[in-house]
Amino acid sequence: MAVREWVVEPYESGRHLTDAFSCGSDALDAYIRKYASQDARKRVANVFVACELGGTEVVGYYTVSATSFSKEGLPATRETKQLPRYPVPASIMGRLAVHRLVQGQRLGEYLLVDCAKRVIAASRQVAVYALVVDAKDESAKTFYRKYGFLEFVDQPMRLFIPIRTLENALGRSA
């Protein structure tokens, strides 16, 4: 099987084709078709889509936006104990979806790394302590845990990974 090359770029309604997108979740399919452009336009989420190199058919996507959390929800570690008592700044990858036709080809990992790199770059301009995700089910939770995400103690389906950990994993130039 030939190795596919993907490009990840900001979603543009009218340019990126989403009608055939099907990931196995009606909610995620509906989001990219009906709501992604308005969320991006309203600046409540940035939407990034993956297409095969040279194509415009969306084969995967993720959203990213700002959030914050209380340190009381984090596991007690030396690092988390040193966080401030006021809300801790973070970015949240609110959605991550991969078209059924390319599932199992590591596009989810590719999108996660792309998001991490963008958040790392943004954190050099605006303070961001961690990347947060909300796992929709146990399978998604297992996926994120494989990459080093940790559970919030009070919300086991919400996970985080410190930016410092991402930088160490991806290299500081990411």
Catalytic machinery residues: 144
CA–CA distance, 141 with 159 (Å, rounded to integer)? 8
Are the C-beta atoms of residues 64 and 134 closer than 8 Å to each other?
no
Q: Residue 59: is it exposed, middle or buried by C-beta count within 10 angstroms (0-12/13-18/19+)? A: buried
**Helices (H), ranges, the chain:** 26-30, 36-42, 78-81, 107-123, 138-146, 163-170
The residue behind tokens 């190199």 is 53
